[in-house]
Amino acid sequence: MATTVDVTINDEIPVKKELSEEEKEQVKFYLQETKNLIGKLKEKNKQARLEPVLADQWELEVAGLDPQVVAKVEFPSYKRVPGMDITALAASRRKLMVTFREAINPSTFQAIEQMILTSEFHKPLATLKLLNSAGLVAKTYVFLGLDIESVDFDALDHNSKHTAKARVLFSYQIMKEIDETTA
């Protein structure tokens, strides 16, 4: 089908007027401000994309110790051993290596020693909380039936640059996962 277009003669055609020097400077200023604003927005968007990775934190509470003294938590790597039965494999995976940093006072080491001494008749409890970027608890892992397998204290000598650390290897019976986002 053919389309018809109405054309009238003597329509006003907009003509671009010349800008004065002052108006040109204003346009340059606003263009530069717009570019700066776009640049800042791009930086914020880039930061916002990285924010969940940067802002997510975790807390581990073990046997009443302050979560601030926990420096690192490691889970064992998977190692396939031919001939290992499933119960031995599951037992090898139920381990938790916790590195404690020494606080300003020696209370951390005293608390670890007390935890070691009392762990035979009172099993410590560990709670690992994963926090989202807003600082709210997103997921919680509760480790039940903790046994202390080994404890390793750093040597404290005159060349020590950092505070002493203690590494405790726990084995646990049960790990419960609690999803806090749906609660």
Tally of domains in the chain: 2
SS3 call for 83: coil
For the ranges 35-44, 88-97, 165-174, the one whose mean pLDDT is highest: 165-174
Q: Are residues 39 and 117 in the same domain?
A: no
Pair 73, 128: CB distance under 8 Å: yes
Please state the rounded mean pLDDT for residues 122-150: 84
Write down how long the chain is: 183
pTM: 0.58
How far is CA 54 from each of CA 73, 136, 179, 183, rounded to the nearest angstrom? 18, 15, 21, 25
Residue-level pLDDT at 53 = 46
Q: Please indicate, yes or no, if residue 11 is contained in any of the structural domains.
A: no
Domain that residue 118 falls in: 56-179
Q: Please indicate, yes or no, if residue 113 is contained in any of the structural domains.
A: yes
Per-residue pLDDT reduced to its tens digit, 45-57: 554 544 444 445 8
Q: Are residues 170 and 103 in the same domain?
A: yes
Per-residue pLDDT reduced to its tens digit, 140-177: 889 888 888 888 887 766 766 666 788 888 888 888 88
Q: Please indicate, yes or no, if residue 60 is contained in any of the structural domains.
A: yes
Pair 111, 98: CB distance under 8 Å: no
Q: Are residues 133 and 46 in the same domain?
A: no
Q: Are residues 45 and 105 in the same domain?
A: no
H or E stretch at 33 = helix 21-55
